[in-house]
Homo-oligomer: A and B are copies of this chain.
Amino acid sequence: MSEESIDYLFHPKSIAVAGVSGGSDRWNPGRLLMKSLMDFGFKGEIYAVNPSGGEIDGSQIYKSLADIPGSVDYVISAIPASYTPQLVKECGEKGVNAVQFFTSGFGEIEADEGKRLESEILRIARASGVRILGPNCMGLYCPQTGLTFALDFPDHGGGFPSQAGSLGFVSQSGGNTMYCIREGASRGVYFSKAVSYGNGIDLAETDFLEYLADDPDTRVIALYTEGVRDGMRFMNALKRAANAKPVIVQKAGATDGGIRAAASHTGAIAGSSVIWSSLLKQFGAIQVFSIEEMIDMALLFLRDFLPAGRNVAIVGVGGGASVLAAEECACAGLSVPPLPIEVRQRLRSISAVDAGRFFVNPVDMTTLHFEKMVEAMKAIADFDQIDMLLFQMGFDAWALLDMKSVIEPYISSIIKLRSILDKPLAVVLHSQATYQAKQLYTKVSTSLHKANLPVYPSVSRAAVAINRLIGYHGWYQSHDKKNS
């Protein structure tokens, strides 16, 4: 493996897409991949290649890479697997830096032919200095330079956010990469780079882990892997990356079915889940078990949510909801300490109503008076044994309230709280059963994201992420020492 930086991968000046059909098939993958780059605003040259030649949207389709007049930095292959050795050969001759294979039908299929083809293209690439991404992968997403692979259904606006952020994501699975980007965007989490590397026969998780550890645009790294090839090199890269910035890892393939699927999916050899878990722990990486948990976790880092300990005050609407919120926090590993009598009396005087409220922590304010809610939150945050505040509201009922007169002022107050409180605040908008509630969630959470507040769809999702965050920082121990 080369020690040189692979930063050039994310800054190609020209891209050729091999396998673009000039025919009428609007589902032709080469065509979709090319169109998605153009739509996303890639600023360099984009060339279409197909041995049949022809035209696409008035532009020439070149019969080979050699026919392209200018230089080509990066090639995206959407051609059948059997033609790929020839393409890699042409890449070498053209001086291409790297070729990404959307093409599948390699090591992941049952027939031996797949593995043979992988060896062949790798041999040809190594001989000419061409790097390979994939095969059987979606490739690169980099909003800053206009790279994307959102080939799905461009006619319906299926692209990815063009907003750049600071989460770097490396994934063996293309589908999970697409979902992670969409899930991220829906939660206000944007990406510096995302890479789907598929079978990873040349460039793979370790290369990108090394790269992202040094990438100044990346504050947090997330990795979805089904298994690594060079365990020793991966461990070193993981150790170094986790020293540099938070690294969140989802390791799939811990069960028979998962291992079998991983082998079929990307040819990965999954490895023991116990070894993986202890390895991740040892190197200070954070293990998660779903893409949602990955975004839940990244959100805390990217919003600078830094509680001094694990004592949470839960404030919100609804008695039963408060009971369950307390349970979910405690089950996740957080502490829900009782509020002292002075704070409770203060809250009681703010509320002015006793019936149907309670102030023990959890605090059930059940009020539409946002000024009172702000005052109550301040009173709670002043209590020195509280490290963070969690505001919870069930959205099924909220969806029925008036947007202008009730919801918007309430949300504005919550946003104001972020600068008023000297302790971290997370917001949970749970109970989104109805369509109206889902619709309102989208609107309200977008406002809260813009105000830099972490928003969660359930208390348990928030609590699990916060607990992992505290474990990661070892704040719990130092806080305990401080208080003993």
Interfacial residues, chain A to chain B (CB-CB below 8 A) = 81, 103-105, 108-111, 136, 152-153, 156-158, 171-179, 182-183, 185-187, 224, 226, 252-258, 260-266, 290, 314, 318-327, 329-331, 336, 338, 344, 354-356, 358-362, 364, 394, 396-397, 400-402, 431, 433-435, 437-439, 442, 460
Contacts and interface: CB of A to CB of B under 8 A. Distances in A.
17 contacts: A103-B355, A156-B401, A176-B318, A177-B320, A179-B321, A185-B433, A252-B320, A252-B323, A253-B323, A257-B327, A257-B329, A258-B326, A263-B360, A264-B359, A264-B364, A265-B319, A265-B358
Contact of A252 (B152, B324, B329, B435): B324
A324 B178 CA distance: 15
- Interchain residue pairs A-B with the least CB separation, the first 6: A173-B320, A105-B355, A257-B336, A257-B326, A255-B330, A264-B358
A321 B253 CA distance: 12
B104 A320 contact: no
Contact of A322 (B156, B254, B265): B265
Given A108-B358, A156-B401, A364-B265, A173 B323 contact: yes
A438 B433 contact: no
Nearest to A338: B260
Contacts of A175: 318-321, 394
Contacts of A314: 257
A111 B353 CA distance: 13
Given A254-B331, A257-B314, A290-B460, 9 more contacts: A104-B356, A176-B320, A182-B396, A182-B437, A252-B323, A257-B327, A257-B361, A260-B361, A265-B320
Contacts of A256: 330, 336
Contact of A327 (B103, B255, B320, B324): B255
Contacts of A360: 260-261, 263-264
A464 to B, nearest CB: 13
Nearest to A253: B323
Nearest to A339: B260
Contacts of A319: 108, 173-175, 261, 264-266
Contact of A401 (B153, B187, B258, B396): B153
A111 B354 contact: yes
A258 B327 contact: yes
Contacts of A257: 314, 326-327, 329-330, 336, 361-362
Nearest to A103: B355
A261 B362 contact: yes
Contacts of A265: 319-320, 322-323, 358, 364
Contacts of A442: 435, 438
Contacts of A172: 320
A167 to B, nearest CB: 15
A44 B362 CA distance: 41
A258 B460 CA distance: 13
A436 B178 CA distance: 15
Nearest to A185: B433
A99 to B, nearest CB: 17
